[in-house]
Amino acid sequence: MSAFYNISSEELDLATLNTILGQKLLLKISDEARAKIEKCRAYLDQRMLSDQRPVYGINTGFGSLCNIKISGENLSQLQENLVMSHACGTGDKVPREIVKLMLLLKVQSLSYGHSGVQLLTVQRLVDFYNNDILPVVYTQGSLGASGDLAPLAHLALPLLGRGEVYYKGEIKAASEVLSEYGWEPITLQSKEGLALLNGTQFMGAYGVWSLLQGYKLSYLADFISAISLEAFDGRLEPFNALIHKIRPHKGQLCTAERILEFTEGSQLATQEKKNVQDPYSFRCVPQVHGASKDALAHVRSVFATEINSVTDNPNVFVDEDEIISGGNFHGQPLALALDYLGIALAELGSISERRTYQLVSGLRGLPAFLVHDPGLHSGFMIPQYTAASIVSQNKQLCTPASADSIVSSNGQEDHVSMGANAATKCYRIVENLKSILAIELMNASQALEFRKPLKSSEKIEDFLASYTTVVPFVAQDRVLHYDIEKTKGFIDRFELTGPILEY
């Protein structure tokens, strides 16, 4: 029997989202949310009958056409036209895991009862989510200001029986899938198209995904750096708590504590050292990784607010008898946060590549390029090139999108956040970081073999025993592309648990 997550006004946080996704929970609209949605829709219907004054997006045109009044008999057509005309995304298709998050976050935002949508509309979005009917959405087209208009239009098209969806491993016409379930296309009522298209769920979904991946990769960056430290015959003094208590950034304290935990009981760590100091890429792991952890915490707080917010426009306040047009769809808070997150995660890759470089350099008793008979065999020479190339690309991707703006809609929408571009850039940085950490793990695992018979800690030895069943020791040259891909798969399968999300 399937387990459900009840959509309600209770706070939706990152840990809850991780549980929903990890346990593949289905969605259910709570009685409380149903009542709010229906109350708001009934109020809006009554208001439109009794008050003919223009209300933006409900009985007017959109954007710079906001002063054009639309007659009552055309209000439904107005909303359908809005969805169709705005579905002009292009570029790559949005990954399905992001689309699924977009559905969840859109349902959450509509459930607060300030959007004026029909209960049927919200329920159909829930049905899409629960049956893995995922609209085909495109990465390009949003300015991140009037909401994520183009991506959300593609998300909404299947409600009307238009557009395409992923279903049972294929891309199919939405009309075909609706017919299979016996569902009629929804006839949008006043305000509904705008409620579906205004919002930050494209940016929000990318941000939530990047945060969840970011926490996992932050943890793995710590763990892999500990393996590299052991393989490089590094010192543990830089991780002594006394150092970090006199500069007590939370991320720094957490990182140092983790490294000591990971290396506890290691024979390598306790052997006499010939080198007085280690390079910064080892010695300053707490400071560098820790700063990225603090950035993750800040971005998490921004998104915690956002995913529990109403971000369409105008907003309906039933008890106050008000319909107010504002700018809650503007993505500036997310744009800045996504740029910051991208920089923080890119730095984890930057310092990782430096550790890889040190490991292949023939230092501290390790063979050049971590292979027997170097010269005949190139060993791990070129994976470092690959990591360096990806690090350089990440630096380019870290150019902030949020510093840009461009005028749209005949000057009515004259400042935009570009948060959608920040979101898709951040996604690419996350994927790049996986490759960089995979390359470091390959090198660290290979290097540690040359330290035998001495052993590392039980934690590290157990981890590597699992890893080397996937990617064994490289005794002679082979096609390392496959090893990198297998290592990335190993990283992807690493489970994101509650404790990792704590910091």
Burial class from Cβ neighbours inside 10 Å (0-12, 13-18, 19+) for residue 465 reads exposed
Residue 80, strand partner residues:
none
Cα 244 from chain centroid (whole Å): 30
Q: Quick check: 480 and 360 in contact, CB under 8 A?
A: no
Of residues 43, 56, 427, 503, which has the active-site annotation? 56
Residue 90, strand partner residues:
140
Q: Helix and strand tally (H, E) in the chain?
A: 20, 9
Cα(390)–Cα(435) distance, rounded to whole angstroms?
8
Q: Quick check: 117 and 387 in contact, CB under 8 A?
A: no
Structure tokens at 187: 């006839």
Q: What is the dihedral of CA 336, 337, 338, 344, to 10 degrees?
A: 110
Cα(344)–Cα(290) distance, rounded to whole angstroms?
10
Q: What is the dihedral of CA 196, 69, 163, 126, to 10 degrees?
A: 30
> Does residue 453 have a cis peptide bond before it, meaning omega lies within 30 degrees of 0?
yes
Q: On the CB side of 218, how many CA atoms lie within 13 Å of its CA?
A: 32
- Closest by CA to 110, choosing from 93, 96, 91, 129, is 129
Cα-only R_g, the chain: 26
- Closest by CA to 397, choosing from 433, 426, 431, is 426
- Closest by CA to 282, choosing from 234, 223, 344, is 234
Residue 27, strand partner residues:
5
Cα(228)–Cα(222) distance, rounded to whole angstroms?
10
Annotated active-site residue 340? The verdict is no
Q: Quick check: 460 and 400 in contact, CB under 8 A?
A: no
Cα(283)–Cα(354) distance, rounded to whole angstroms?
12
Cα(205)–Cα(56) distance, rounded to whole angstroms?
27
Catalytic residues: 56
